[in-house]
Amino acid sequence: MKTIQFREAVQQAMSEEMRKDESIYLMGEEVAEYNGAYKASKGMLDEFGPDRVIDTPIAELGFSGIGVGSAMNGNRPIIEFMTFNFSLVGIDQIINNAAKMRQMSGGQFNIPIVFRGPTASAGQLGATHSQAFESWYANCPGLKVIVPSNPYDAKGLLKAAIRDDDPVIFMESEQMYGDKGEVPEDEYVIEIGKADIKREGSDVTIVSFGKIIKEAYKAAEKLAEDDISCEIIDLRTIRPMDHEAIIESVKKTNRLVILEEAWPFGNISTEITYQVQSKAFDYLDAPIVKINTADTPAPYSPVLLKEWLPNSDDVIKAVKQVMYID
């Protein structure tokens, strides 16, 4: 095992796959000469050259469409958005072409493409740069959606995404690129669609994903001081979702809290709530509680932003609520 940064895990995954398959290439804004906006493609231009690590104009609709077209013609592109907020410019290509082409062509065209980049808030960047669109993309049949929370998961899942014959949305975080974690030096791949139990527990299940899961870890440590045992499930893959892992945990703990950095209406938490109440209702000893951002655009003010984002205190409050502790 070697300790590396999240950005290095992303770079290693892309580089290792590109060495094996010349049809794989990386395209996006500043991915080449600048080594990536967040240095997640550092050194790749030097190794693979400008034909396979391609800088683009600020034109997400254009280079997303080029990626989809090249995937239809036998390539396996990795399209980087500087942030998924900017993917909205190219969302027509993602939703109307990448996600639907396999079905609309009667299986004649696979679209082996990865759209990757950071999601959700990253500090004081304003409302238009602080949005989480996981639920938007997960709502669309034909897309797989992955949101890793650590370097180990990021590398293993990105390699799986690059090898997948269907379009994959791979969402990272600007605030995690510097995070460090142990990653095997030998090759490994993590299966898409499998959640991971990050912490075993018996009193309450907490489901989360992405960078916000760190708040669940903080809360669990604090609650353990009061002999409250939290089981934490990292979804890792949003679609397909590992419903079985969640259901089995709820059957054990009988309580569920969901932590998600997203607006409260029609999000991933809502879907999980429906799945659990329909498949494990009789096991619940308390109503499910979901924790989300405030139902407003993200504020710029640091004071308001702190109130807008979920935190470990919110998780502690929710856990005590489902356990009927004052």
State the Cα–Cα distance between residues 33 and 291, nearest whole angstrom.
Answer: 41
Q: How many Cβ atoms sit within 10 Å of the Cβ of residue 103?
A: 11
State the Cα–Cα distance between residues 161 and 189, nearest whole angstrom.
Answer: 9
The answer to whether residues 71 and 24 touch, using CB atoms and an 8 Å cutoff, is no
State the Cα–Cα distance between residues 118 and 83, nearest whole angstrom.
Answer: 5
* Residue 323: closest CA among 200, 204, 223, 199: 204
End-to-end distance of the chain based on CA atoms, in angstroms?
44
Q: For residue 225, give Cα distances in angstroms to 218, 219, 316, 321.
A: 12, 10, 12, 17
Let me know if 129 is a catalytic residue: yes
- What is the helix (H) or strand (E) element at residue 302, kind and residue range? helix 302-308
State the Cα–Cα distance between residues 197 and 123, nearest whole angstrom.
Answer: 28
Residue carrying the six token digits 């969302």 = 91
* Residue 152: closest CA among 144, 142, 160: 160
**Of the listed 17, 129, 215, 260, which one is catalytic?**
129
**Of the listed 60, 80, 215, 260, which one is catalytic?**
60
Q: No. of H helices and E strands in the chain?
A: 12, 14
Let me know if 221 is a catalytic residue: no
The residues that are catalytic are 60, 129
